[in-house]
């Protein structure tokens, strides 16, 4: 008997889209009042204002119409994926990346497992600094070159990049899109509790890296055979291309942290990098253009997945049931003891993050509701922010409505069930670590 296979990501997202439409007929429509928040510059909900409104069910045709609406809503992210994918295809066509991988493999010799903690720390830093997700998509083919040479599986490539970035984001003391916006909404000083978060960030990364190494040891294959005369030096021209890539990331971090850059500026930066890399790398204008086209083609499926994932939220929003879901999940927390209410917040944030896969969007939706609840229960606002970080942030590791995750898996040729099988036990371990963190925070009065 043939074993049933998990559905393709696109099939899964369409199923979720139709489920969202069905829920718009079942759940009562309701809304919170909203007001502009000067601290964050966003429209946030007003606690205690949830009220039912006229039902607004989304029919089958309207649900399908939500797909192009979701694509349009995620246009800035989709263009970023295309332009980063094209730029790195250009860099790959110059041969610089493969030369660099050959040099690295030669240098590592019998210490190749060191690749896992080194790359994991790089991506975890990106997650901690600026919630890196979509930017990873185009880097997966680059990592696959390395992991294939070392005999590691594609799951390892995703675990030490996307997985590490998600962990870094969830436990970060400075991520502006998670802890930063949540602390503003909770009226806490930015970076407050930073040392406490940093300690648990190190513990969480150690746990994730150990799990990745353990999996890799169990699943690795003999490394790919290579020619004995393969160059083990990078060369001047390729060195310039790689330096250009490094400088681009330095400029990117500076722009994100100091110039308030968004996806559009990031897209422009990587487009420029690709053009310059192609010319410096000897591809000339025509070769660079063709490499961009190949990159666009390879990123198309990943970009489409992001748009389909966004369409799910469009349906829930048009059905006016997002606030209803939040209200239904948050209300039971008010009757729990202090410690259990903190754990209840983690569970609620996890459940909310499935229909609301944007961490910043979830913050402006839930924090104004949960902060008064925590005050009423005598629970510190810092603990409330921690519960949000661990519930929403860690959920990114698994949730199928996270378009970036599905796009990363598609770029790596990894089926969702393969990733789920690897990630689930470590996700649960990280959630347990988050629960320990919250208990410690309550005990020490953070």
Same domain, 95 and 187: yes
pLDDT recorded at residue 7: 77
Is the dihedral angle over the CA atoms 379, 382, 385, 391 positive or is it negative?
A: negative
Same domain, 299 and 368: no
Same domain, 150 and 255: yes
Cβ burial, residue 162 (10 Å; 0-12/13-18/19+) = buried
Same domain, 109 and 202: yes
Same domain, 138 and 200: yes
Q: How far is CA 124 from CA 20, 136, 323, 357, 428, in A?
A: 32, 11, 32, 19, 19
pLDDT recorded at residue 82: 92
Same domain, 283 and 384: no
Structure tokens at 252: 């990117």
pLDDT recorded at residue 130: 81
Pick from 304, 328, 354: which residue ends a domain?
Answer: 304
Number of domains in the chain: 2
Domain span at 386: 9-46+58-72+315-444
Cβ-Cβ contacts under 8 Å for 290 (sequence gap 6 or more): none
pLDDT recorded at residue 227: 47
Same domain, 96 and 24: no
Contact yes or no for 319/31 (Cβ under 8 A): no
pLDDT recorded at residue 2: 57
Pick from 272, 304, 336: which residue ends a domain?
Answer: 304
pLDDT recorded at residue 226: 52
pLDDT recorded at residue 9: 85
pLDDT along the chain (446 residues), means of 10: 70 93 94 84 84 92 95 91 90 84 74 89 90 85 86 94 95 89 89 91 97 93 58 74 90 84 89 94 92 91 90 93 91 83 91 90 89 87 94 93 91 92 96 95 89
pLDDT recorded at residue 229: 42
Same domain, 203 and 326: no
């Amino acid at each position: 008997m043939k074993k049933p296979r998990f559905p393709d990501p696109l099939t899964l997202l369409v199923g979720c889209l139709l489920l969202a439409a069905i829920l718009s007929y079942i759940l009562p429509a309701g809304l919170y009042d909203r007001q502009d928040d000067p601290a964050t510059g966003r429209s946030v909900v007003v606690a205690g204002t949830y009220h039912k409104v006229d039902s607004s069910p989304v029919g089958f045709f309207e649900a399908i119409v939500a797909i192009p609406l979701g694509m349009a809503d995620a246009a800035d992210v989709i263009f970023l994926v295309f332009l980063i994918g094209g730029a790195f295809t250009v860099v790959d066509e110059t041969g610089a990346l493969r030369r660099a991988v050959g040099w690295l493999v030669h240098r590592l010799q019998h210490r190749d497992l060191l690749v896992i903690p080194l790359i994991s720390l790089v991506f975890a830093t990106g997650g901690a600094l600026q919630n890196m997700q979509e930017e990873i998509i185009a880097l997966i083919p680059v990592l696959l070159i390395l992991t294939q040479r070392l005999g590691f599986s594609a799951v390892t490539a995703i675990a030490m990049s996307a997985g590490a970035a998600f962990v870094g984001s969830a436990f970060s003391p400075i991520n502006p899109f998670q802890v930063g916006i949540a602390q503003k909404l909770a009226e806490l000083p930015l970076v407050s509790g930073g040392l406490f978060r940093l300690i648990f960030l190190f513990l969480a990364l150690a746990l994730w890296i150990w799990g990745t190494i353990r999996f890799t040891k169990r699943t690795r294959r003999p490394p790919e055979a290579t020619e004995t005369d393969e160059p083990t030096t990078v060369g001047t021209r390729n060195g310039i291309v790689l330096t250009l890539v490094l400088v681009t990331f330095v400029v990117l971090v500076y722009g994100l942290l100091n110039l308030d850059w968004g996806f559009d500026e990031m897209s422009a930066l990587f487009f420029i990098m690709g053009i310059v890399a192609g010319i410096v790398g000897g591809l000339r204008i025509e070769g660079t253009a063709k490499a961009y086209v190949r990159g666009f083609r390879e990123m198309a499926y990943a970009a489409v997945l992001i748009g389909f994932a966004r369409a799910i939220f469009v349906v829930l929003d048009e059905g006016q049931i997002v606030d209803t879901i939040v209200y239904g999940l948050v209300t039971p927390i008010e009757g729990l003891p202090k410690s259990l209410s903190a754990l209840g917040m983690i569970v609620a944030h996890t459940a909310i993050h499935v229909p609301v896969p944007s961490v910043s969007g979830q913050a402006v939706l839930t924090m104004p509701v949960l902060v008064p609840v925590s005050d009423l229960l005598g629970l510190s606002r810092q603990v409330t922010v921690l519960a949000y970080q661990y519930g929403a942030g860690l959920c990114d590791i698994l949730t199928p409505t996270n378009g970036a995750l599905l796009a990363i898996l598609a770029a790596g040729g990894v089926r969702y069930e393969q990733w789920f099988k690897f990630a689930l036990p470590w996700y649960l371990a990280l959630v347990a670590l988050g629960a320990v963190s919250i208990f410690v925070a309550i005990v020490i009065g953070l």
